[in-house]
Amino acid sequence: MNNPKLKWPSVWLFLPIVLIILPFFFHNQYILQIANLSSIYIILNLAMHLMMGEAGLINLGQAGFYGLGAYAAALLALEFNLPFPITFLAGGLISAFVGFVVALFSMKLKGLYFALISLSVAEIIRIITLVWMDVTRGPMGLPGIPRPKLFGYSFPSNNEPYFILMVILVLITYLTMYWIQHSNFGLALNTIRDSEHAAASLGINVFWNKTIAFVIGCFFTGLAGSFYAHFFTYVGPTFGWHQTMLVLTMSMLGALAGLPGAVMAAILLTTLPEILRPLAMYRQVFYGVLLIVLIIYGQSYLGQRLKRRLKVDRLQTQDLQKGGQNNG
């Protein structure tokens, strides 16, 4: 903690906060619903930022852990009638535990191979949710998940209370990530990302640092999942790799401007499909175009402009780009 880099979150922290608070001023359920969905993606993207941006782990299986959290919370609430705080945390913890097991046998593998294992694990989780009819009801999914109940207050079906809960959760995630980024642990992760050999020669335990980063990422991913379950009161086997690609894109975009960037990219990519709704049939096509344009031009052109403007950490974008290749 005696790290000179650790200072109070900068002014740029407040821009995302303003964006998060903003929906309160519209008493519009639709906007609040989108805001809640955005908040879920903010958490997913912050977790992805920790794994990919800080530790250089290309995680193609995030959707699996997201689904795991959602299903765990849903099943605990439905089958065992456990109260909300417990199911909510359990979603994250179970996800983290599975992440830990996966990390134990896959963390020794480099860059792209780790990505492939995470992708296979996610697919296995998705298929299990699809075919284990007795427990998950397969393609029919699990409806009727109880709404949250906190300190005797049970949440109504409108979106405001959820949103307050969500803002708190986003802030907790954000501050955790901020703290990690500026702690010695974060520095160790960055070193590992840049060169595992150099990190090992400096006495950093590559295996455990990567594992811990992955487990923390999985924990927050699982939390996002259990919130999803309690918010939509329904889970189905929809957590495919399309989901991961979406968060991966957010993460690549957000890498331009650190943590605030991660928040803004998540908001942008969740709101855009809603704005594109009038395009009806062509919405997905346009979204595909957007992915390509954002990755190609967002990364190169906008990245240079923004970096100069925001004066974010000089290395951030370059390092993230190197993430996949320079692991050996």
Partner 1 sequence: MFIQQLFNGIMQGGLYALLAVGFALLFGVLRLINFSHGSVFMLGAYLTYIFITNLHFPFLLAGLISIILSGFVGIVVERISVAPLRKRKMPFWLGMITTFGMALIIENLSVTIFGGSYRSFPTPIKMVGFEILGAHVTNIQLLTLGVAMLLMILLVLFTQYTWLGRAFRAVSQSEDTSSLMGINANLIVALGFFISGVLAGSAGILVAMYQNIVSVNMGLGVGLKGFFASVMGGIGSIPGAVLGGFLLGIIESLTSAYISADLKNVISFTALILVLMWRPMGLLGKEQL
Which residues form the interface with partner 1 (CB under 8 A)? 58, 105-106, 109-113, 116-117, 120-121, 123-124, 127-128, 131, 241, 245, 248-249, 252, 281-282, 284-285, 287-292, 295-296, 299-300, 321-325, 328
The residue among 38 and 106 lying less far from partner 1, judged by its C-beta, is: 106
Q: How far is the CB of 247 from partner 1 (least distance, A)?
A: 11
Q: Whole-angstrom Cα distance, residue 10 to residue 39? A: 21
Q: How far is the CB of 213 from partner 1 (least distance, A)?
A: 19
Q: How far is the CB of 269 from partner 1 (least distance, A)?
A: 12
DSSP class per residue in 204-242: --HHHHHHHHHHHHHHHHHHHHHHHHHHHSEE-S---HH
The residue among 159 and 317 lying less far from partner 1, judged by its C-beta, is: 317
Q: How far is the CB of 68 from partner 1 (least distance, A)?
A: 15
The residue among 113 and 208 lying less far from partner 1, judged by its C-beta, is: 113
β-bridge partners, 235: 142
8 A C-beta contact, residue 250 and residue 59 = no
End-to-end Cα spacing for the chain: 29
The residue among 207 and 241 lying less far from partner 1, judged by its C-beta, is: 241
Q: How far is the CB of 312 from partner 1 (least distance, A)?
A: 19
CA nearest neighbour of 237 among 44, 74, 20, 85: 74
The residue among 78 and 116 lying less far from partner 1, judged by its C-beta, is: 116
Cα-based torsion angle of the residue sequence 266, 267, 273, 278 in order, rounded to the nearest 10 degrees: -170
